[in-house]
A and B are shown apart, each in its own frame.
Chain A
Amino acid sequence: MSTSATAAPVRADAPSGGVRNWKNPILLSVLALLALLVFALGAPANDVTFRLSDPGDALALPELVLSAPLIGWITALGMLALAAFVVARTRRGEPAPRWLLAAFAVLFLIGFLTWVVGSARTPNVALYGLLAGSVTLAVPLIFGSLSGVLCERSGVVNIAIEGQLLFGAFAAAVAASLSGSAIVGLLAAAVAGVMVSLVLAVFSIRYLVNQVIVGVVLNVLVSGLTGFLFSAVLSEDSETWNSPPQLPVLSIPGLSEIPILGPILFEQTIVGYLMYLAVAVVYVALYHSRWGLRTRAVGEHPKAADTLGVNVNRMRFTNVLLAGVVAGVGGSFFTLVLVSGFGRDMTAGQGYIALAALIFGRWNPIGAFFAALLFGFATNLSNVLSLLGTPVPDQFLRMLPYVVTIFAVAGLVGRSRAPAASGIPYVKG
């Protein structure tokens, strides 16, 4: 139980000074100095070209040509100013406002992008492609982290996102190949996700096995099972078993022509559209519906919910199964959109990045969405940059989601507060 439920009737009479949190100011100062050193002082002496739209687009935008040193200095000085402001506020015992942290992040991103592209062999990048590609890479991450939101908000830790995605990808490939219909594959993926969820639910809720253990073991199980079936069945006759038809891209006429945003929002497959829908639905339902209120109650203080007649374990069970649907559909993206066929361990740790996005997004669907986008962007950037030839080893860019998450859970980037009862099985009495 939370300590606050039995909190002292002690009220702060004195102004709350003394205990100040210096994490943010220190982190921002370090980053701002780094920016000064690298983005401004270390800026390449050339222009950077950002292409904003495909030349073939109906609504072509002009190229954005920026001077790398200029942008470097502007962003670095801006960050220094913001950092100084935060330091001053912390001295007065006031926390840094959220808008400021967001502004800092945006400046850092612009500064970094300009510097890194400017330092490349070809300082010219298609921004529209970079962004669209980021969203594409983020789709399974978003589904995965929504699955995590559904589970953890009801008090069940879901480490098995990786397994759900992988099994979803596998089932989608097989079912779509056998039936010749990508939609059947999509449905099969959802069922596969539910199957993984079912094991998680039965073991963690019914048999009270530690949820992290079940999750970790399930990932191994799914990896082994799909790997075994892949070599025993799929690769023996891939014509029959592993040649899924792809989901068609459904462009919305007109809207998809909008520069930059068009391809991202209005030129997606059905899974892509489902992703946007799922984020919105989960968000609204979680915070504004009866189901959401009960889900959050069960994840925060299950006994309180139980004493009000909410069936805690049934609630958790359904949420975990629902999470399976979501993650399973996300898994289908691998085999029905990204590549045409299943490959051994093809999710390659995306489930763990989804877990990271969930935490970085503070267990909030919208937060998880943006965190996943950021991670998708990092991955895509490293892909694009390795083609352009850059000073930053692409291994470091690939590390980014993980490092950012370590910072997030260590409380260096805001504070993450997990649902209070997450990970604790509920036993009556």
Chain B
Amino acid sequence: MKLELKGITKRFGTLVANDHIDLVVEPGQVHSLLGENGAGKSTLMNVLYGLYDPTEGEILVNDKSVTFRGPGDAMAAGIGMVHQHFMLVPVFTVAENVALGNEATKAGGMLDLSDTRAKIRAISDQYGFDVDPDAVVENLPVGVQQRVEIIKALVRNAEVLILDEPTAVLTPKETDELLGIMGQLKADGKSIVFISHKLREVKAVSDVITVVRRGKVVGTADPGASTTELASLMVGRAVSLTLQKEPAHPGEVSFSVRDLVVQAANGQRVVDGLSFDVAQGEILAIAGVQGNGQTELTEAILGLQNHVRGSILLDGQELLGRGVKDIIRAGVGFVPEDRSVEGLVGSFSVAENLILNRYDQAPFARGLSMSSAIIEKNADEKIAEYDVRTQSAAAAAGTLSGGNQQKLVMARELSRPLKLFIASQPTRGVDVGSIEFLHRRILQERDGGTPVIIVSTELDEVLELADRIAVLYRGRLMGIVPGTVSRDVLGLMMAGMPGDEALAQATNVRGEMQ
């Protein structure tokens, strides 16, 4: 099936998310849509999938113009979509999720899932998915849930499959498996629209690459193009992919974690016996695929987790068992992974957000009474220093762009003397210009002699910032390796191989190749 988008424009109020985008997806082709976060890729795909009405432009299927009033129409036309956040009902079984919206019924509208089960088994066998139709989705690992999403599309006879950032939640091994599945689908004559901002993956699977920037198509490239070439096309200017940074001068170890165990409410050990040290003036990056205990680790340090055992020492003082406020006052700065949920109160003003964890301390408050004059003055200073683009200090933080929100959080955390700085996903969803700024700020803090912990699922970021890298897999430490280690080693460790084995294997492979 041939799919064509002609002059698609989508406006939200004054914001132009898509600006006259043209795109042709030929049958049996993997067509990658490459662009930064917020470039308008997802909006475009939601238009294509009938979730949004385009403001202008048309969609052509096999050269015939079509209008989609909803996802139902798009599916009927042979378009399937695997969303970045899975669209699965957690309490339903696989079969129920697959059948939903397309249910076979017996007399009186009674459900008949037998046909659906058979289809799931057939597809599962064909592609080697290993999915049980009667398993409840919330009990399945993320990789399997993603396959359920693909099954959903295939059962509906999708000819074009849209995969929206599908590798964000996968381990390198699962990613490889997914890329394999994409190959199989392509061989069966399906077309795939692959949305990603990860250059390596895009280069690996694509037949055609379309680069989107600020809602516009800025060019096409073929998979042979170099990474730097693609990156500068994506960002709109020449980018140095590596940050100029001075080598670290680690001082004494002032933060250490010993035998840390964090249990989830159901008793699962989400952090399982971690021990590590961070020295003053060094950056320890915690790498790993999302959901391998990183969140719980940082939250445990900050006192946000309930079932924690072990020891967390800052300057020789035990943090474990102390309240969040106490730990913040002890000098721990924390940039949470989801700033809009944990880092900011969206309906509060920029000024209020800048004192969110110091609202009750001098000079902002005296006793129970707060001083708005000092709070505003503080805001003006921080806005200038961190170049936060906002209409005013009184504007609601929720109205700021992602990058500016992150600057706001960073400004708050770095504007007091710290003894430990933890930043989770410091640049997720942030435009490239801000990324550089934020990275420099983090390095500045390191060079000022603060122990820094960076948690990131982006290998690029880890490699760029880290002096040492700790890799987490299923809550366990796979090892701590130098910041100069190769991507392959990290990939193996992220898939659960202990550090020394991974180092050895990577060396062997290189040896054989030579």
Contacts and interface: CB of A to CB of B under 8 A. Distances in A.
6 contacts: A1-B85, A5-B88, A6-B291, A9-B142, A10-B270, A429-B46
B51 A428 contact: yes
A11 B496 CA distance: 13
Contacts of B165: none
A14 B270 CA distance: 11
B138 A2 contact: yes
Contact of A296 (B89, B137, B141): B89
B109 A309 contact: no
Contacts of A300: 89-92
Given A5-B138, A5-B145, A429-B51, A305 B267 contact: no
Interface stretch (A225-233, A285-293, A374-382): A285-293
A75 B201 CA distance: 68
B433 interface: no
Most chain-B Cβ atoms within 10 A of its Cβ — which of A16, A285, A301? A301
Contacts of A428: 51-52
Nearest to A284: B110
Contacts of A13: 269, 272, 474
B505 to A, nearest CB: 22
Contacts of A11: 141, 268, 474
Contacts of A5: 85-86, 88, 90, 137-138, 145
Contacts of A16: 266-268
Nearest to B169: A6
A297 interface: yes
B268 A308 contact: no
B70 A7 contact: no
Interface string A1-39: 110111111111110111100000000000000000000
B111 A290 contact: yes
A304 B265 contact: no
B197 interface: no
A310 interface: yes
A40 interface: no
B216 interface: no
10 closest A-B pairs by CB:
A309-B72, A308-B101, A16-B267, A8-B291, A304-B87, A4-B138, A12-B268, A9-B141, A290-B103, A2-B90
A367 interface: no
A307 interface: yes
Nearest to B309: A18
B133 interface: no
A93 interface: yes
B210 to A, nearest CB: 23
Contacts of B111: 288-290, 292-293
Interface in A403-429: 420, 428-429
A51 interface: no
Contacts of A14: 269, 272
B293 A305 contact: no
A46 interface: no
B87 A290 contact: no
A51 B145 CA distance: 58
B241 interface: no
A54 interface: no
A393 to B, nearest CB: 40
Interface in B284-325: 289-293, 307
Contacts of B142: 6-9
A428 B52 CA distance: 8
B334 interface: no
A63 interface: no
A187 to B, nearest CB: 24
B294 to A, nearest CB: 9
A362 interface: no
Nearest to A306: B71
B101 A294 contact: yes
B195 to A, nearest CB: 16
A311 interface: yes
A303 interface: yes
Interface string B39-52: 00000001001011
Contacts of A10: 268, 270, 291-293, 474-475
Interface in B241-292: 263-270, 272, 289-292
A12 B272 CA distance: 10
B62 interface: no
Most chain-B Cβ atoms within 10 A of its Cβ — which of A11, A289, A309? A309
B110 A289 contact: yes
Contacts, number: 152
B357 interface: no
B87 A7 contact: no
Most chain-B Cβ atoms within 10 A of its Cβ — which of A93, A307, A429? A307
A33 B96 CA distance: 46
Nearest to B108: A289
Contacts of A1: 85
Contacts of B71: 306-309
Given A5-B138, A19-B263, A304 B88 contact: yes
A210 to B, nearest CB: 15
A308 B87 contact: yes
A364 B173 CA distance: 42
Interface in B57-94: 70-73, 75, 81, 83, 85-92
B340 to A, nearest CB: 14
A301 B103 contact: no
B105 interface: yes
B89 to A, nearest CB: 5
B100 A7 contact: no
Given A288-B110, A297-B92, A307-B81, A18 B307 contact: yes
A167 B500 CA distance: 74
A8 B96 CA distance: 22
A248 to B, nearest CB: 30
Contacts of B90: 2, 4-5, 300-301, 420
A224 B169 CA distance: 54
B99 interface: yes
A91 B367 CA distance: 47
Contacts of B143: 9
A283 B110 CA distance: 12
B468 interface: no
Given A9-B474, A18-B307, A301-B89, 12 more contacts: A5-B90, A7-B141, A8-B291, A9-B291, A12-B268, A19-B264, A289-B109, A293-B96, A297-B92, A307-B49, A308-B72, A309-B70
A297 B169 CA distance: 24
A285 B108 CA distance: 10
A313 B315 CA distance: 56
A429 B51 CA distance: 7
A8 B109 contact: no
A5 B105 CA distance: 27
B361 interface: no
Contacts of A290: 103, 105, 109-111
A294 B111 CA distance: 11
B102 interface: yes
Contact of A303 (B75, B87, B137, B145): B87
Contacts of B86: 5-6, 304
A293 B100 contact: yes
Contacts of B213: none
B203 interface: no
Contacts of B85: 1, 5-6
A8 B475 CA distance: 10
A19 B266 contact: yes
Interface string A354-369: 0000000000000000
Contact of A309 (B88, B101, B137): B101
A293 B267 CA distance: 31
A308 to B, nearest CB: 3
A291 B307 CA distance: 42
B419 interface: no
Contacts of B103: 290, 293-294
B100 A308 contact: yes
